[in-house]
Structure formats: C-alpha cells, structure tokens
C-alpha cells in the first residue's frame, strides 16, 4: 500500500516547492528565502520551528501511537544550498540569479523533506516516537553539518538515529542505492607552493627550477594510491591545478600545484596526508627547492550503519516505482552528512533521478543539470516509510 506516496494536490505541492527553490537558488549560509519558504510551509501545517546554524531550520513531530511520547527521536535531514554555477536551461523554473543554480539536487531534497513533514503529520498515529526535521544549510563545502552540530543539534533533538537521501542523476529514476559501511568518500584539499630560484631558460644551471620539482611531485603522488595504501582500500590523489611563470624563456621563482584526495577510511586519510607531505618535502630536497604544503581535511568518509541500511532496504517494496540497485554501490564523491552519521548511527542513500526522456542526463554540478521530478514523490515515500520503520525497530 502506497500510504506515503503523495498524489494530487500533495504531489503538486512538492513539485511546486522544488521549482520555486530552483528558481531562487541561494549559496551556503545565505539560504534566507529558502528557509523562509520551509518555515512558512511548516507553520501552515501547525509545526513550530527553530533556527539552527543561522539559516538552518529545525522542527519536530511527536507521534500519537500509544507509546509515542516515551519513544525515541530520529532525525531526517535535507540540505538547502545551491552552487556558484551559471545555469544553462530554458525550463520555466530555471534560476533567476546569475551565476547561481541548484546543480546538485538540493532543491529536490528540501522539497522532499517538506513533503515528508506533511505525510507523517497525516499518519502520526503510525509514529512510535518523535521525528526531528533538519533543513541544513551549506552542504557544498562550507561546513554546514559541522555548524549544526556545533549549534547543539544532538542536544536539541536527542536523536538516536539519522536518515537522509540524495537524488542521483547517474542512476535511473526510482533505483535506490543503499550500501552498508563506507558509502561516500572523505574529501581533502591540498595546495603546495614550490619556491626555487628563477633564471634564464637557456642557462638552467644558474637556477633552481621549481617547475621540474613540481612535475616530479605530480608523478610521485600517484604512488601514494598504488604503493602506500592497502590495495583493498580505495584511494584517489588528483592534482587538478598547476601553474608557474608566464614567459616562455624564463625559469620562474615559484610554482604552485593543488588538488584533492579521497578515501573511505580515516586511517587511509592519515596515510595519504603523511605520504603527500613526505613526498613533497623529499622531492623539494632532491631538487634544491622549498615546498610548503597546506593540507585541509574537509569531509570525513560517510559510513552507513548496517541496522539502518537494513531498515532502508526493507521499505523499498512499499514504495511503487522504487527498486533496489546494485549491492555495494559506492562513490568517491563526498557529502557532509558524513559528520552527522559520525555522531549518530544512520543511513544515507541515493535515489535515482536520471531520465533521458525529460533531459535528466547531465552529471551533478553541470550547468545543465536536471532531475526527473517523478523521483520526488518516491523520495517522500522512502523517507516517510524509513521514519516509521525506524521507530518501530527501536520500539521492538
């Protein structure tokens, strides 16, 4: 029975919310209009709301099942921020703000959780406890999850488990990708300044060439994944930027390079950082230059708890149109829900929203990114079913 699948006016509302948010995207910690829309919707349903981390919104729903008031609290989370990308689209709901668009599906996530609030309110007799709704700001690299945790999320909600989803354009609409253990990677950034001594390109012996040293670093970094980490543990070291000099006949004084590293465990994160620093220092010494490394740990690996992934899989048959995707799916992409799942056990899964028939063919962060809106009601139903089932599991 599709008890939580929005239809008619409820479905139209979810789609309208998604399109309104898409037309008016807002960057990290500037989600003022988005937060106001969320609050207006929740207040209209009778919810009380609180602000968290500035532009975040928090609300609660206590069930009316016989043991609900003494039951536990679970957390449902959606992110709200957009990206600094110029949208290329002719759709009526395209962004009205130059240089800013929803290119990762957060508009859909927010609309889905707004829909979940309506559906669970209508079925609160099924809730054997309390649901906390977190509309989180600033997922896109700005530390929003850490900010809500610093602003007392755990104390303010008393949540014992957390759940969330991400619309995923790389999977067909309705395919649920639910994986135990490591699911998304850590994300670290590095920048290296290589300082040598400039000189004439025709007289290299009078210089200390930072370009040659930097080039050797780039190739040596590739041995981190192949020779310094466990081959059964995924690791990525990508140098994405390199710059030095301007003239074609001048050896510059300095060179710069930077990039990102990814892994599925904190231990591998430690190995990657240590080896990258050691290689940079050793290579610099070999070529008689100096290397300064700035290494920033941005996001830890996202790890799903087996209990809560099992609950997520168990509700898939209850949602028309949703099917389980390949077991063990993982991605080296990163997501700051990882910090919430490091503090609370829970699950974060992908729901396919790719469909060539509606132009949902582009990868995330692409200027023509689009989702298949047919995935929106499925997302509402999946999170609603998970919330009910999670409280049932905790009560049993």
What structural domains and CATH numbers belong to the chain? 8-182+301-395 (3.40.630.10), 187-299 (3.30.70.360)
For residue 142, what pLDDT is reported?
A: 87
Per-residue pLDDT averaged across 143-166, rounded?
98
Nearest to 391 by CA among 126, 156, 114: 126
Residue 334 contacts residue 185 (beta carbons within 8 Å): yes
For residue 189, what pLDDT is reported?
A: 98
Could you identify the residue written with the tokens 């130059």?
98
pLDDT digit string, tens, across residues 243-302:
999 999 999 999 999 999 999 999 999 999 999 999 999 999 999 999 999 999 999 999
Cα 197 from chain centroid (whole Å): 42
pLDDT digit string, tens, across residues 91-139:
999 999 999 999 999 999 999 999 999 999 999 999 999 999 999 999 9
Catalytic hit among 139, 188, 273, 335: 139
Please indicate whether residue 273 is annotated as part of the active site. Answer: no
Q: Are strands 130-136 and 346-354 parallel, antiparallel or unpaired?
A: unpaired
Q: Are strands 181-184 and 187-195 parallel, antiparallel or unpaired?
A: unpaired
Angle 191-197-198 from CA coordinates, rounded to 5°: 100
pTM: 0.94
Instruction: Give the pLDDT band of residue 75 (cuts 50, 70, 90).
Output: very high
Q: To the nearest 10°, the Cα dihedral for 276, 279, 285, 291?
A: -20
With a cut of 80, say whether residue 1 has pLDDT above it: no
Per-residue pLDDT averaged across 65-90, rounded?
95
For residue 68, what pLDDT is reported?
A: 84
Please indicate whether residue 87 is annotated as part of the active site. Answer: no
Nearest to 163 by CA among 384, 316, 372: 384
Catalytic hit among 26, 39, 79, 81: 81
- In the 8-state DSSP scheme, what is residue 87? -
φ/ψ region of 338 (left if φ > 0, alpha if ψ in -120 to 50, else beta) reads alpha
Spatial distance between the Cα atoms of 13 and 302, rounded to a whole number of angstroms: 31
For residue 141, what pLDDT is reported?
A: 84
Q: What percentage of the chain carries pLDDT values higher than 70?
A: 99
Per-residue pLDDT averaged across 328-352, rounded?
98
């Amino acid at each position: 029975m599709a008890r939580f699948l929005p239809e008619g006016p409820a479905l139209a509302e979810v789609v309208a919310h998604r399109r309104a948010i898409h037309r008016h995207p807002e960057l990290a910690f500037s989600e003022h209009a988005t937060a106001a829309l969320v609050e207006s919707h929740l207040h209209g349903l009778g919810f009380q709301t609180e602000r968290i981390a500035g532009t975040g919104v928090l609300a609660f729903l206590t069930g009316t099942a016989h043991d609900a008031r003494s039951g536990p609290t679970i957390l449902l989370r959606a992110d709200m921020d957009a990206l600094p990308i110029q949208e290329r689209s002719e759709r009526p709901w395209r962004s009205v703000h130059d240089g800013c668009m929803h290119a990762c599906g957060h508009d859909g996530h927010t609309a889905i959780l707004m829909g979940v609030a309506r559906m669970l309110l209508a079925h609160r007799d099924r809730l054997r406890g309390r649901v906390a709704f977190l509309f989180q700001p600033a997922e896109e690299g700005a530390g929003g999850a850490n900010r809500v945790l610093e602003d007392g999320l755990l104390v303010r909600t008393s949540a014992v488990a957390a759940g969330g989803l991400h619309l995923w354009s790389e999977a067909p609409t309705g395919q649920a990708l639910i994986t135990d253990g490591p699911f998304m990677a850590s994300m670290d950034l590095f920048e290296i300044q290589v300082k040598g001594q400039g000189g004439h390109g025709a007289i290299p012996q009078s210089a200390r060439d930072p370009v040659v040293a930097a080039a050797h670093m780039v190739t040596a970094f590739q041995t981190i994944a192949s020779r310094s980490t466990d081959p059964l543990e995924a690791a990525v070291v990508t140098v994405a930027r390199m710059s030095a000099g301007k003239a074609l006949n001048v050896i510059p004084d300095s060179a710069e390079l930077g990039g990102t590293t990814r892994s599925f465990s904190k231990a591998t994160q430690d190995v990657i950082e240590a080896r990258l620093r050691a290689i940079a220092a050793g290579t610099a010494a070999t070529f008689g230059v100096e290397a300064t490394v700035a290494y920033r740990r941005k996001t830890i690996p996202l790890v799903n708890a087996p209990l809560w992934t099992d609950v997520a899989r168990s509700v898939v048959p209850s949602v028309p149109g949703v099917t389980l995707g390949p077991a063990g799916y993982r991605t080296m992409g990163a997501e700051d829900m990882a910090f919430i799942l490091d503090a609370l056990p829970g699950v974060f899964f992908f729901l396919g929203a790719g469909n060539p028939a509606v132009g949902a063919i582009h990868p995330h962060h692409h200027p023509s990114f689009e989702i298949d809106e047919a995935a929106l009601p499925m997302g509402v139903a999946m999170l609603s079913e998970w919330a009910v089932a999670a409280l049932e599991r905790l009560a049993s």
